[in-house]
Structure 1
């Protein structure tokens, strides 16, 4: 499986769980740091889940082993992609969604899936290919994987199959996953979905990381979709 055997970091609801927020970390990271950041903006009725990727050799980093959802060769919009790895990782995240839903008796419309960088790319692919409607997606400093296939509706991939609201955040000074990756993703999704449930926000001076302002906006998005209590 693409996910680590280590259990996800979690923030449990303090009462009855009525919503789920599942967030995927970026390349070389774990879910721990994100779990500590979301601790400060948590809502008591939501369970927050931060899974960990397995370590694997990553071509972009000269074959070094590190936590990674799939292999990545280059940060290039026209570069070769690890399609098999993306699909395998998506299935593991789907299994996690199902497991958490069943444990809390939460319907799919009360699940928000998100991620940062590579984690956001996997979250978007998983969400767009998920058969059940989700409550929302949060994509930070991220991009659309297998963009050409989605654009051409090849292999059954569709940009319009998932109708849930989507929040995208991106630093305007991101030199790792450049802003154009996020803006092009937003344009493609907005054109295909033709609805008002899309938000793309740039953060001035922010590099390849998150910020207090961005996390505040994410918290507002979560509250809008899953309520305040």
Structure 2
């Protein structure tokens, strides 16, 4: 029996020029939407970049246990806030990874192969970025994981595809983060490095948020990816 492909998520899209040669697929955090991160595009852009399509999907709306079951945009349910290894529900993670893969496949249909797709995410979106990235047998151009952790504990490390470690990774975390502990981000980076990933790590004196210096570092990292193609 074949499994039906997931319906494509609704997205916000911004193109920096005609016929984009690259795609940055950016996943928002819990309770947010694609519109929440779209304003970052002008802060990222550099004059020497090729044309880029930025795709900001909206997460499905689902009940979130730690928020008393209130329905909100979420990439997965959060059942245990304290235990990071068991915070994410596996079914929700798997569903979201499949939806992200469908968006990556659409980019290939639009002329941007996986080798020129960057997958990025903040918080919950960063967790899905890492979960999807670890499964990739056809490496993406890179992964950006901000203020996040590795969901499902050691399971993703055990199940990682051997080809996945070819993907360079940018990670950044606030040292005062009360939502995703700083140590959770460090553990995720260590787990990726144990598999052979090249991880560029940045720390900022902030809470669960982004800052201008961080966005500047992301832009520098993206520029290096584009220049290597």
Q: TM-score, normalised by structure 1?
A: 0.89
Task: Report if aligned partners of 2:43, 2:215 keep a CA contact under 8 Å in 1.
Answer: no
Q: 2:58 aligns with which of 52, 55, 72?
A: 52
Per the alignment, do residues 220 and 38 of structure 1 end up closer, same or farther by CA in structure 2, a change over 3 Å counting?
same
Task: Report if aligned partners of 2:64, 2:72 keep a CA contact under 8 Å in 1.
Answer: yes
Paired position in structure 2 for 1:212: 212
| Secondary structure of the corresponding residue to residue 22 of structure 1 | strand
Q: 2:125 aligns with which of 119, 124, 130?
A: 119
Paired position in structure 2 for 1:108: 114
Cα RMSD of the aligned pairs, angstroms, is 2.1
Paired position in structure 2 for 1:29: 32
Paired position in structure 2 for 1:225: 225
Taking the aligned partners of 1:159 and 1:184, their CA distance within structure 2 comes to 19
Taking the aligned partners of 2:85 and 2:72, their CA distance within structure 1 comes to 24
Task: Report if aligned partners of 1:90, 1:125 keep a CA contact under 8 Å in 2.
Answer: yes
Q: 2:17 aligns with which of 4, 11, 14?
A: 14
Paired position in structure 1 for 2:195: 192
| Runs of 5+ consecutive residues of structure 1 not aligned to the other structure | none
Taking the aligned partners of 2:89 and 2:192, their CA distance within structure 1 comes to 22
Indicate yes or no: 2:95 matched with 1:92: no
Offset of residue 4 of structure 1: 8.0
Per the alignment, do residues 34 and 72 of structure 1 end up closer, same or farther by CA in structure 2, a change over 3 Å counting?
same
Per the alignment, do residues 136 and 201 of structure 1 end up closer, same or farther by CA in structure 2, a change over 3 Å counting?
same
Per the alignment, do residues 56 and 99 of structure 1 end up closer, same or farther by CA in structure 2, a change over 3 Å counting?
same
Task: Report if aligned partners of 1:2, 1:69 keep a CA contact under 8 Å in 2.
Answer: no
Indicate yes or no: 2:158 matched with 1:166: no
Paired position in structure 2 for 1:134: 140
Taking the aligned partners of 1:228 and 1:144, their CA distance within structure 2 comes to 27
| Runs of 5+ consecutive residues of structure 2 not aligned to the other structure | none
Taking the aligned partners of 1:175 and 1:159, their CA distance within structure 2 comes to 32
Per the alignment, do residues 123 and 79 of structure 1 end up closer, same or farther by CA in structure 2, a change over 3 Å counting?
same
Per the alignment, do residues 176 and 227 of structure 1 end up closer, same or farther by CA in structure 2, a change over 3 Å counting?
same
Paired position in structure 2 for 1:146: 152
| Secondary structure of the corresponding residue to residue 220 of structure 1 | helix
Equivalenced residue count is 220
Q: 2:85 aligns with which of 74, 78, 81?
A: 78
Q: TM-score, normalised by structure 2?
A: 0.89
Task: Report if aligned partners of 1:2, 1:70 keep a CA contact under 8 Å in 2.
Answer: no
Task: Report if aligned partners of 2:137, 2:161 keep a CA contact under 8 Å in 1.
Answer: no
